[in-house]
Amino acid sequence: MTLNSSLRRHLNLPAVFTVSLGAMIGSGIFVLPGLATELAGPAAIVAYFLAGLIVVPAALSMAEMASAMPMAGGTYLFIDRAMGPLMGTIAGFGVWFALVFKSAFALVGFEGYLDFFVDIPVEWVGVGLAVLLTALNSTGVRVSGRFQTIIVAAVLGVLGFIVIGGASTTDTAVFTPFAPEGVGGVLAATGLVFVSYAGVTKVASIGEEVKNPSRSLPIGMLGSIGLMLILYPALLAVVVGNVDPAQLAGDPAPMVTAAGKFSGTIGQDIVAITAILALVSMANAGLLSSSRYPFAMARNSLAPRIFERVGTKSGTPTVSVLVTGSVLVLLIATVPLVELAKLASAFQVLVFSIVNLSVIAFREANVPWYQPGFRSPFYPYVQIAGIAGVLVLFTQLGFFPLFGAIGIVVLGWIWYRLFGQSRVSHESALLDALRLRATSRLIDLTRDALSLEGRDHILVPVSDTISSNRLRNLLRLAAHLAAEDGRITVARVDRDVEGALWWRRTVFPQASDPFRVGIRQIADDLGIDVGVVRPRGSDVRGAVNDYIARHAVDLVLSYQSDVSRRRRGFAASIRWLQEHASCDVAVLHRRLIGELGHIAVMGAGSPYDVMKIDVGNRLASEPESTLAFVHVLPEDSTDPQVDAIEKYHAQLEDLCGAVTSSSVERSPEFIDAIAERGRGADLVILGASRRMTGLGPELTDNIAEAVGTPVLVVSSRNPGTPGLLRSTLERLIY
């Protein structure tokens, strides 16, 4: 991934720190304390601290990704690269939506503090401030950053004054009982105040405008959340200890009320002004960061290109700032923001879990360009704890916010389908990570299979009409696949006069039986020992499965020839065994094998079943034999998909003892491509499965007919064979 910057880097570490703080200091402490204490009592102090701890893993993850990708877009960019353009679009659209609503909410949330000075509609003031902030951000990030630094410094000074001054007048008796609503109340309050910390990740979206981002972004983000982890609980302790609990529950300006206990009217005025400045600072941080999302999405073809325009003098994404500011003004003037801000907050909670998952995807994918200057400590335990904590928190938000989060996801999906899907082609680090893990698992299983000597007991069911040449073919294959001390047993299946298959109840007669004599002659030619049985019972399918279980058969090797009327019952039974036998099954289709000079293992999409590689490698053990790995992928397969299969083939070539070759190609016609590749082979090996994810019998018949050369179809029942879920996942990631 090439990180080309088109924005100017003006922001230093203090600016990053104050932007991050400004995004957190706001409604979380100036509006929410009353609501939090109503839910949890004095234990709301713990709720603030617990909410901060839940955010820490996401902050660590964001700091790591921001140091690796200091580009405009922040959360959107990270999720897009980690989880793919669909998830990136949903995150970009949703986080932009959430930040704009929270900024609008901040500009009308200081109504209780504004009332101390003037009695005018807060919406008018909010619209005026939104226009001012939009103009300020359009002039350049340097001016906006200085404005943010001044405001946050002033706010921090006043908040420190409140903590120090309020500590002396705090009534400790109000802290008993500490948690009247129990753990449930604390969790509910945690879900409410979680949004107080959510702004810590906003600063990552302006990473492209930060000087020395690999140092400034992690220090600024983690330093700011560390400070707030101390400041928020301390402020709430002062508020709870200085305001009557009954008054606090409905107080729109709890900080002012608390300040009045130890600083009088002057102190209240100072705190009211500070609250207004803090909320304006939060709105400014939200506008500054949210305006970078359309810019970043446009640069990745997920939004109209007009959002990509950068002002020649200001060096900022001017169009994106103006459009975001216009939406902000419109929302303040027309929309009931309180409930919609709750919807936005629920989506941000969801995004935090995806942020933690994104770091896991990057780390596990070993993406070459992912070289963070800061790495999250205690990986991956911190991220896993963060995901679990956020999911628990998600259950505390209530139905309406959850419904809103789902609605934002749906809107983002619709935007991607209508606008972005046809314009993007890159894949995600998550897919890379899943492919690496899946391939590593398959290679380990293949190595284990190839290290074994061979099959311990091979059962070869044949009909009483089998030709000598076909029987020789089957026993030749069995000789290659059996272990040195393994058993090979031929089971002769006869028909009665009515055409129903059954096992004769008598043992073989004298040694002069022509069938037995023929087997002995073939076995002597191949240098192997072969047993012959006629298991008892009238149900051939049940009898075979019973024999498999009783005699520890680990491979059934049989054939499908032309399905004449005489052989239709035998063919149906072999097909049934392919789908239901309790051991591996290999079926030779129709044509006879000549030499085993060139063997082709065929695959489509996902990697091979281990059994195909094991069988192919053992059959290619003859002198001058070669083994070809052939994969035919859909025509729309991406370059990373092709590359993943090619790397998989390369690892297989290192494992196999035979002389190998590899071919991976895209084709719109799977059967035609397989047939073309298979026509030059002496034997083609295909995989079939009893599961719906495998090649069905009709498809394997069609391929065998199209190839025109002998085809061996293998069906694995090994415990390592992927189940339906894993098979489906492999087909999706490859």
Q: Is residue 608 scored above 70 in pLDDT?
A: yes
Q: Residue 25 and residue 157: Cα distance in Å, rounded?
A: 12
How many CB atoms sit inside 10 A of residue 179's CB?
18
pLDDT tens across 643-666, in order?
888 888 999 999 988 888 998 888
Q: How high is the pLDDT of residue 507?
A: 39
- Give the pLDDT band of residue 118 (cuts 50, 70, 90): confident
Q: How high is the pLDDT of residue 509?
A: 43
Amino acid at 436: L
Peptide bond into 461 cis (omega under 30): no
Q: Is residue 124 scored above 60 in pLDDT?
A: yes
Q: Is residue 193 scored above 90 in pLDDT?
A: no
By three-state DSSP, how is residue 603 classified?
strand
Q: Is residue 103 scored above 70 in pLDDT?
A: yes
- Give the pLDDT band of residue 487 (cuts 50, 70, 90): very high
Q: Is residue 251 scored above 90 in pLDDT?
A: no
Q: For the residues 574-589, what does the mean pLDDT come to?
A: 87
When the pLDDT of each residue in the chain is averaged and rounded to a whole number, the result is 80
Q: For the residues 709-727, what does the mean pLDDT come to?
A: 70
Q: How high is the pLDDT of residue 114?
A: 75
Query: Does 299 or 311 have the greater pLDDT score?
Result: 299
List the chain domain ranges: 13-426, 447-733
Pairing mode of beta strands 501-502, 626-634: unpaired
Pairing mode of beta strands 482-495, 455-463: parallel
Q: Is residue 692 scored above 60 in pLDDT?
A: no
Highest mean pLDDT among 19-28, 102-111, 434-443, 640-649: 640-649
H/E stretch holding 161 reads: helix 141-167
Amino acid at 342: K
Highest mean pLDDT among 59-73, 195-209, 681-695: 59-73
Q: How high is the pLDDT of residue 145?
A: 64
- Give the pLDDT band of residue 599 (cuts 50, 70, 90): very high
Q: Is residue 510 scored above 60 in pLDDT?
A: no
Q: How high is the pLDDT of residue 385?
A: 93
Q: How high is the pLDDT of residue 504?
A: 40
Q: Is residue 538 scored above 60 in pLDDT?
A: no
Q: Which architecture, in CATH terms, is 13-426?
A: Up-down Bundle (1.20)
CB 309 within 8 A of CB 317: yes
- Give the pLDDT band of residue 508 (cuts 50, 70, 90): very low
- Among the ranges given (277-281, 397-401, 669-673), the one the predictor scored with the smallest mean pLDDT: 397-401
- Give the pLDDT band of residue 568 (cuts 50, 70, 90): low
Q: Is residue 606 scored above 50 in pLDDT?
A: yes
Q: For the residues 689-695, what does the mean pLDDT come to?
A: 44
Q: Residue 321 and residue 303: Cα distance in Å, rounded?
A: 14
Q: Is residue 618 scored above 50 in pLDDT?
A: yes
| Cα end-to-end distance, the chain, whole Å | 21
Q: Residue 322 and residue 328: Cα distance in Å, rounded?
A: 10
pLDDT tens across 25-68, in order?
777 777 778 878 888 888 989 999 998 898 899 989 988 998 88
- Among the ranges given (23-32, 60-69, 192-201, 494-503), the one the predictor scored with the smallest mean pLDDT: 494-503
Q: In CATH, what number does 447-733 get?
A: 3.40.50.12370
Query: Does 338 or 681 have the greater pLDDT score?
Result: 681
Angle between helices 399-415 and 337-365 (to 10 degrees): 60
- Give the pLDDT band of residue 340 (cuts 50, 70, 90): low
